[in-house]
């Protein structure tokens, strides 16, 4: 849309501008053509008037200022002239008296100085003024014959200074209007065809550019959309970290795919490390569980050993007591031996054996006491 909307706007503006320029050029050309045709019509009227004055020139040049007969012959000659159908030559005197007016012969000889056109213009006075100024063109509105419509009439006025006459003729430009209407219709048709052609050409170019734009946009947006879909799947936990985006070029889109693939690969490696760490933690937890169980077993065994140690202590206590009794008995025996030393060598041997037994018992007692002292760090059991 960012490509096509400006393009459509530019196309519409260009077509409208071209249509406006063509219409303006056509209008100017038609105006120029109309002026040219009117100028041709005015030139034709001027030529007719000049031909009329040329036709009566021999009479005019050979006649005097008051030669009535020459004036009558010249007037009759001008009265009989026609051009372009019923168009005629008219003649007025400087005082406004009509001399030749073929379409209204009843007005000949009348002073028409006060004759007015439909717009109130005193046309006879203007005829006289233009003629006295040396002649020229004069335009005025007049009723078009056979209708009640007013049409512009173009006249050319010349003068016969010696007789005090102004000679003129006028034509309507309705034929010019008709010709211009045909030209305008043809120009309008050409303009319409040109606009249609420009519109169709613009539509064709717009369609072609739209297809190209669609292809380019699809090529650009497609990888971005696939990247966005892949990122959305990863964000929602459904992404396949083993898949990679295809590299479709060396532009920014291709760089985006490269960076995305690197990101996914890095994430995949990280998750693998996490999985390995999780597995290691799981095994360590199992090992800790087994160690805890073993520790509990050892604790129970230590408690049992402690009970056994208590029993051994009671036994040792009994043994020590017995040893004390033995010591006392030995002491008595020594005294008895001193008393009965004289009884002989046999009694001494018995005493020595008894003392050896006492020594062994003392040694055993000492070992037992040492073992009792070592019990807190590592208990020892005697069977």
pTM of the predicted model as reported, rounded to 2 decimal places: 0.48
> What pLDDT is recorded for position 164?
93
**Degrees to nearest 5, angle at CA 287 with 281 and 290:** 145
Lowest mean pLDDT among 149-163, 165-179, 340-354: 340-354
Max mean pLDDT among 15-29, 84-98, 207-221, 281-295 falls in: 84-98
**Degrees to nearest 5, angle at CA 288 with 283 and 290:** 95
> Comparing 41 with 239, which gets the higher pLDDT?
41
Both tokens assigned to 343: 């009884």
Q: What is the mean pLDDT of residues 217-234?
A: 73
Predicted confidence (pLDDT) per residue in 124-136, tens digit = 999 999 999 999 9
Both tokens assigned to 383: 């069977």
Q: What is the mean pLDDT of residues 150-175?
A: 90
Max mean pLDDT among 68-77, 177-186, 239-248 falls in: 68-77
Strands 98-100 and 136-143: what pairing? unpaired
> What pLDDT is recorded for position 383?
40
- pLDDT category at 201 given cuts 50, 70, 90 is confident
Query: How far lies 205's CA from each of 6, 8, 277, in Å?
Result: 14, 10, 62
> Comparing 210 with 226, which gets the higher pLDDT?
210
- pLDDT category at 381 given cuts 50, 70, 90 is very low
Both tokens assigned to 151: 């049409």
Contacts 24+ apart (CB under 8 A), 135-144: 135/159, 137/42, 137/46, 138/168, 141/117, 142/117, 142/118, 142/170, 142/172, 143/118, 144/172, 144/174
Q: Are 97 and 111 in contact (CB under 8 A)?
A: yes
Q: What are phi and psi of 134, to 5 degrees?
A: 110, 0
Max mean pLDDT among 60-64, 193-197, 371-375 falls in: 60-64
Predicted confidence (pLDDT) per residue in 10-33, tens digit = 878 887 887 888 888 888 887 888
Predicted confidence (pLDDT) per residue in 84-117, tens digit = 878 899 999 999 999 999 988 899 999 999 999 9
Rounded Cα–Cα distance for residues 183 and 17 (Å): 23
How high does pLDDT run on average in the chain? 80
């Amino acid at each position: 849309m960012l490509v096509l909307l400006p393009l459509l706007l530019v196309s519409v503006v260009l077509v409208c501008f071209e249509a406006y320029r063509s219409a303006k050029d056509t209008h100017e050309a038609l105006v120029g053509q109309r002026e040219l045709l009117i100028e041709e019509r005015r030139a034709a009227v001027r030529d007719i008037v000049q031909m009329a004055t040329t036709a009566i020139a021999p009479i005019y040049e050979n006649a005097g200022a008051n030669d009535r007969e020459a004036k009558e012959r010249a007037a009759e000659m001008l009265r009989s002239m026609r051009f372009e159908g019923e168009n005629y030559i008219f003649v007025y005197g400087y005082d406004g008296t009509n001399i030749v007016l073929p379409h209204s012969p009843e007005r000949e000889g009348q002073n028409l100085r006060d004759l007015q056109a439909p717009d109130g213009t005193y046309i006879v006075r203007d005829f006289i003024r233009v003629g006295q100024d040396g002649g020229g063109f004069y335009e005025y509105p007049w009723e078009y014959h056979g209708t009640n419509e007013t049409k512009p009439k173009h006249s050319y006025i010349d003068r016969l200074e010696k007789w005090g006459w102004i000679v003129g003729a006028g034509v309507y430009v309705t034929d010019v209007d008709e010709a211009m209407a045909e030209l305008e219709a043809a120009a309008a048709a050409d303009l319409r065809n040109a606009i249609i052609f420009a519109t169709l050409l613009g539509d064709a170019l717009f369609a072609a550019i739209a297809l190209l734009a669609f292809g380019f946009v699809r090529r650009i947006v497609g990888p971005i959309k696939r990247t966005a879909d892949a990122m959305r799947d990863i964000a929602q936990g459904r992404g396949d970290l083993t898949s990679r985006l295809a590299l479709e070029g060396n532009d920014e889109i291709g760089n985006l795919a490269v960076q995305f693939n690197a990101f996914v690969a890095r994430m995949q490696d990280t998750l693998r490390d996490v999985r390995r760490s999780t597995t290691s933690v799981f095994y360590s937890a199992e090992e800790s569980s087994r160690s805890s169980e073993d520790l509990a077993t050892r604790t129970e065994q230590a408690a049992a050993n402690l009970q056994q140690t208590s029993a051994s202590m009671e036994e040792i206590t009994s043994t020590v007591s017995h040893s004390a009794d033995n010591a006392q008995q030995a002491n008595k025996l020594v005294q008895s031996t001193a008393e009965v030393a004289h009884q002989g060598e046999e009694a001494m041997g018995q005493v020595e054996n008894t003392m050896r037994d006492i020594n062994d018992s003392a040694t055993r007692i000492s070992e037992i006491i040492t073992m009792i002292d070592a019990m807190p760090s590592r208990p020892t059991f005697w069977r």
